[in-house]
A and B are shown apart, each in its own frame.
Chain A
Amino acid sequence: MPDIVNLTINGQAIQAEKGTLLIEVARQNGIEIPAFCYYEGLTLQAACRMCLVEVEKTPKLQVGCTLPVADGMVVHTESEIVRKARKGTLEFLLTNHPLDCPVCDKGGECELQDMVFRYGAGESRFTERKQHVDEQQWSPVVYFDAPRCILCYRCVRVCNEGMGVGALGVSNRGVISEIVPNRHDYLECDECGACIDICPVGALTSGSYRYQTRPWEMEHVGTICTHCGDGCRTTLGVRDDKIMRGNNRDSSGINGEFLCVKGRYAFDFVEHPERLQSPMLRNAQGEFEPISWSKAFTTIAETFTAVKARGGKFGVIGSNHTTNEENYFLQKFARQGLGTKNIDHHRTGDLATFFDALSGKNAALATAGDLYTAKAVLVVGADLAQQHPFLSYQARANFRHHNAHIYAVTSGPVREDNQAVASVRVEAGGELVGVESLRDKLKAEGDLVIVFGDSIQGDGVRKLVAFGDSLGIPVKYVCLVDYSNSRGAFDMGLIPRDGGMSVEQMLAAKDLDVLWVVGANPLKNAALGSSHAFVVVQDLFMTETAKRADLVLPAASAYEKNGTVTNVCGEVQKLKQAVKVMGTKTDLEIMGSIAKEMKLNLGIWLPDKVFAEIRKTVHGYDVPLPVVDTGGAAPTMPLNGRVPALPGAIQSAGDTLFTSGSMSRYSKILNAVIESPGGLYRR
């Protein structure tokens, strides 16, 4: 039992856990103690002096953000002397602040503006010259306007502590103190933009958002990032059917405020000029020509029906980015509608063996939250900071806040080394030997989350799980998969089970009659074996695969549709449509329309209806609807007994922080940022 103390704040009797910071206790009880530098989860600074409060029997005002509550403490946060002190501090702050609110991006959501409105003076007594420094661009993403900076050091801390990058510091002293980037006049960092979001004023602004809009002109749509598999919620600011920015300042979602460069900025592929906006059919001259949707649907339906009727060979390749509903509908279409077992997707982690090895162990799947609360985290054969930045952030935060023990078994240096109690370097393929060398240390841990990459496959997965079992402590696992719905693609059944063909087999088969590719690019580095196959591709862009197609259908991206996706940890979350791109349809609507044209009865193709069917039929997906509907993340439990081995290769795409499969090619931001060193498992 924690020690409980009794104290009084503004006459209100309050009980709190001994040692809790006064500012937190006040907030928990609905009393605001204003502060700039204090930020939950980051180290204490006591620099801004906004949180000064009166504590009876102390000689001077006390700093609320560093003062632990004690029994009998009598605190006043709104007394005359406190109000006067705040006013004085704000007056100091405004002396060198440019007050260019009318053109400042932060106007309307600026903490300094709010504070001055609430606590500030009506007029300025400062009549001297202000300190001026010219604006600087530090990266394609980050701009810095020093005069606006109030030096709360949030940016420095979030970069150093939160991201583990430490790209920002302070130079000079006194009134010319200035935040500086690590390369003197530019930044070499994750380009995550956390510094921009955390800035209480408009000192740090985003290269993609600045001077575009006022915050109150936007609608804010919370959806799930469509890039890596971590499942971060990104709140898209939308104005006039255009995404203006991404952030997660409201801390909704599993990721709190965390977002990497992709979640915060790489939504810009949506409006790339090369987006496909009309169905296209290859004509007699071999060139694509735009056709109507109805012609596209009839053409496809006729071909599919004919091939099916003559017992021809279908191949269906699904996506790592499309929704669970679309994936479910696609496999249903393939299996029931086309009568084929040849369905697969680009598999980036050995989920089949993983689920099989864990069969019957219900508490063995780690959620993203577990990485923050586990006593120990073991990372095997993965560069989390590059490929799963949120999981990396969670482990780091766990280390910072709970002194979690981090272990890394990798073939080269990774960011986790900085927190690790033990880092083991192994040759690729030697990961399990490295893991074994940690046995004694791991046995002594209270509980453990093991995160492993695609270097652990097949028997390796079984050995790793056997190792976990042998430790005698509770162990949970994360089998890393690359993309926003890689996990969902597997769970929905985009896999060549029961003797179906894998992606490789489909591409190699000379007798394939139809290849239907939904949101994937299997021909990026491969040729299609069958010269006569009718190829239908649904995609956002003219990818290598689309170029080989006979018929291309312009699909909507994740930001343009509703539905659910499942993250790398198996948590189901809802997408929410932010914008509509002219000429496109969602993959679900496309598939539904083809089914209708083929007179197949595959059910209603509305996301909610399909999800209801998924909840009934897909094992482990009977998740509580209120959780999902309110924007929560519902863990799935697909450990339903033996899972037979599947044919075909499993290989992570080896994306880095600044790549994201085919999609990243069409993001201006991802192309503009400088690729920093790292990316241990980059391919």
Chain B
Amino acid sequence: MSKKLYNEPSPLETRILSKRFGLENSELLATYVAHDGFKAFRKAREMKPEEIIEEVKTSALRGRGGAGFPTGLKWSFVPRSSPKPKYIVINADESEPGTCKDRLLMEYDPHQMIEGILIAGLALDAHKGYLYIRGEYRYLIDHMDRAIAEAYAQGYLGKNILGTGFDFDLYTHSGAGAYECGEETALLDSLEGKRGIPRMKPPFPAVAGAWASPTLLNNVETFSAIPAIIRDGGAAFAALGTPKNGGTRLLCVSGHVNKPGVYEVPLGYPMMKFIQDIAGGIPGGKKLKAVIPGGSSCPILKADECDIPMDYDSLAKIGSMLGSGGMVVMDETTDMVKVALRIMRFYAHESCGWCIPCREGTTWLKKILQRFDDGGGRAEDVGLLGELSKNMLGRTFCALGDAAAMPTISIVEKFAEDFEKRLAKDRQMVAV
């Protein structure tokens, strides 16, 4: 069965992870094997574990889930010699608003990710993997179960994989609809059958993760990048991007663009060029107002801040993040009060409730924004929004509180005039 692509690829893309997207039966193992599949695994089999990890370090691959932690370094934290079983957990709880790349990697090319997982298994002496898929991706669980069954049937999973003597079992596990479970330790709790609440760190999952055993957690895209790195060498992958920001990544662009979709570009690709040339520019010739660069938790950028290369460090320099690659483009007609409300509704709904500042803060902010949007805004609200957000920032148990605070602070500070305009309008209504 040929999968129709959600969006036409752009000739400006650098397709490494997505190179099989659009092929006839791209999700089948046979297609994968016919197009470089499992070459990397065979190569990794001949390598020493530390060589595999070194190769990943050389690639300058950084976690694609959002935090951008150097992947090779993360792998090196897992104590290979631990007498406990080691687990690999694949974070497919893709829930960051604006982000929709992991689903494509699983849908179009599941075996690429499986190969990446197996290589990690070799590197860490792990023999079990859990693919934690967000509950809303119900169809993907069936899809991945089929892919996994196919891999078992053809000897790519299970005992003695490809005659190498290496065993690996991979299981799918469904989330239940909590954004919080994308946080790695909350995911582990959920995986273990508990309420999805983040854990205290340390210990970090590398030391005590799933069932208190050493655990490697990476994002779907991170694992999907591994085969190319091992196959073509870490240096080649690194060279695609900028220093310390190796390779390509899948960017999901939505909002006011002519060609929304998922595109693979090298790290460091210019943001404006991406919006104009790959995403097709803004419809109706309208002007750019703002960009959420990497998912709703990233501080928002004003139009004049967007002329930058898209890599982790450049975005950090201007106080935002590359995040999970969920770019939302907003034109001049966008009402930032509504944007702030939409974002805060999400976080208030998704706050797990574990710690006070996030639980109470997100709801309070949502209520203020809702009232503001309903026409009940007060002059002091604008300051209050910023202040309450700052009372959450850096003080919550996990990063969800920060994720809710950061965009709000940036919106209130950078787009105060939108709030002023609303207040003026409200006053007018009262005057009439």
Min CB gap B401→A, angstroms: 9
Q: A47-B355, A49-B356 are in contact. Are A173 and B178 (CB under 8 A)?
A: yes
Q: A44-B200, A47-B356, A174-B353 are in contact. Are A92 and B364 (CB under 8 A)?
A: yes
Q: Counting CB contacts under 8 A, is B396 at the interface? A: yes
Q: Counting CB contacts under 8 A, is B302 at the interface? A: no
Instruction: Tell me which of A124-132, A265-273, A376-384 binds B.
Output: A124-132
B-side contacts of A66, CB under 8 Å: 200
Q: Counting CB contacts under 8 A, is A52 at the interface? A: yes
A170–B357 alpha-carbon span in the complex (Å): 18
Q: Which residues of B from 318 to 373 have beta carbons under 8 Å from A?
A: 348-357, 359-364, 367-368, 371
Q: Are A89 and B362 in contact (CB under 8 A)?
A: no
Q: Are A85 and B360 in contact (CB under 8 A)?
A: no
Q: Which of B348, B367, B394 contacts A61 (CB 8 A)?
A: B394
Q: A46-B200, A46-B355, A49-B396 are in contact. Are A174 and B391 (CB under 8 A)?
A: no
Q: Are A88 and B359 in contact (CB under 8 A)?
A: no
Q: A46-B397, A47-B397 are in contact. Are A172 and B364 (CB under 8 A)?
A: no
A-side contacts of B384, CB under 8 Å: 125
Chain A contact surface mostly: loop
A48–B349 alpha-carbon span in the complex (Å): 19
Q: Are A92 and B361 in contact (CB under 8 A)?
A: yes
Q: Are A177 and B361 in contact (CB under 8 A)?
A: no
B-side contacts of A125, CB under 8 Å: 384
Q: Are A48 and B356 in contact (CB under 8 A)?
A: yes
User: What 1/0 mask marks residues of chain A from 125 to 153 whose CB sits below 8 Å from any chain B CB?
Assistant: 11011010000000000000000001100
Q: A49-B397, A61-B394 are in contact. Are A174 and B356 (CB under 8 A)?
A: no
Q: Are A174 and B359 in contact (CB under 8 A)?
A: yes
Q: Which of B200, B354, B395 contacts A85 (CB 8 A)?
A: B395
Q: Counting CB contacts under 8 A, is A93 at the interface? A: yes
Q: Which residues of A from 41 to 56 have beta carbons under 8 Å from B?
A: 44, 46-50, 52
A48–B395 alpha-carbon span in the complex (Å): 10
Q: Are A126 and B356 in contact (CB under 8 A)?
A: no
Q: Are A174 and B362 in contact (CB under 8 A)?
A: yes
Q: Are B395 and A52 in contact (CB under 8 A)?
A: yes
Count B interface residues, CB 8 Å: 30
Q: Which of B353, B371, B391 contacts A175 (CB 8 A)?
A: B353
User: What 1/0 mask marks residues of chain A from 143 to 175 whose CB sits below 8 Å from any chain B CB?
Assistant: 000000011000000000000000001101111
Q: Counting CB contacts under 8 A, is A530 at the interface? A: no
A-side contacts of B349, CB under 8 Å: 174
Min CB gap A57→B, angstroms: 16
Q: Are B371 and A92 in contact (CB under 8 A)?
A: no
Q: Which of A59, A89, A172, A177 contacts B357 (CB 8 A)?
A: A89
Residue from B180, B356, B359 having most chain A Cβ neighbours under 10 A: B356
B-side contacts of A172, CB under 8 Å: 353
A-side contacts of B178, CB under 8 Å: 173
Q: Are A47 and B354 in contact (CB under 8 A)?
A: yes
Q: Counting CB contacts under 8 A, is A60 at the interface? A: yes
Q: Are A49 and B371 in contact (CB under 8 A)?
A: no
B-side contacts of A89, CB under 8 Å: 356-357, 391, 395
Q: Are B395 and A175 in contact (CB under 8 A)?
A: no
Count A interface residues, CB 8 Å: 34
Min CB gap B307→A, angstroms: 29
Q: Are B361 and A174 in contact (CB under 8 A)?
A: no
Q: Are A92 and B391 in contact (CB under 8 A)?
A: yes
Q: Counting CB contacts under 8 A, is B195 at the interface? A: yes
Q: A128-B371, A174-B348, A174-B349 are in contact. Are A95 and B364 (CB under 8 A)?
A: yes
B-side contacts of A169, CB under 8 Å: 195
Q: Are A49 and B357 in contact (CB under 8 A)?
A: yes
Min CB gap A88→B, angstroms: 3
A47–B355 alpha-carbon span in the complex (Å): 4
A-side contacts of B357, CB under 8 Å: 49, 88-89, 92
Q: Which residues of B from 391 to 420 have beta carbons under 8 Å from A?
A: 391, 394-397
A212–B83 alpha-carbon span in the complex (Å): 58
A52–B357 alpha-carbon span in the complex (Å): 12
Q: Which residues of A from 169 to 202 have beta carbons under 8 Å from B?
A: 169-170, 172-177
A170–B349 alpha-carbon span in the complex (Å): 16
Q: Which of B180, B353, B360, B367 contacts A92 (CB 8 A)?
A: B360
Min CB gap A50→B, angstroms: 8
A-side contacts of B388, CB under 8 Å: 88
B-side contacts of A47, CB under 8 Å: 354-356, 397
Q: Counting CB contacts under 8 A, is A491 at the interface? A: no
Q: Are A95 and B355 in contact (CB under 8 A)?
A: no
B-side contacts of A61, CB under 8 Å: 394-395
B: residues with CB less than 8 A from A are: 178, 180, 195, 200, 348-357, 359-364, 367-368, 371, 384, 388, 391, 394-397
Can you report 26 A-B residue pairs in the complex whose CB atoms are below 8 A from each other? A46-B397, A49-B355, A49-B356, A49-B395, A49-B397, A50-B356, A59-B394, A60-B395, A66-B200, A85-B391, A88-B357, A89-B391, A92-B360, A93-B360, A125-B384, A128-B364, A129-B367, A172-B353, A173-B353, A174-B348, A174-B351, A174-B363, A175-B348, A175-B351, A175-B362, A175-B363
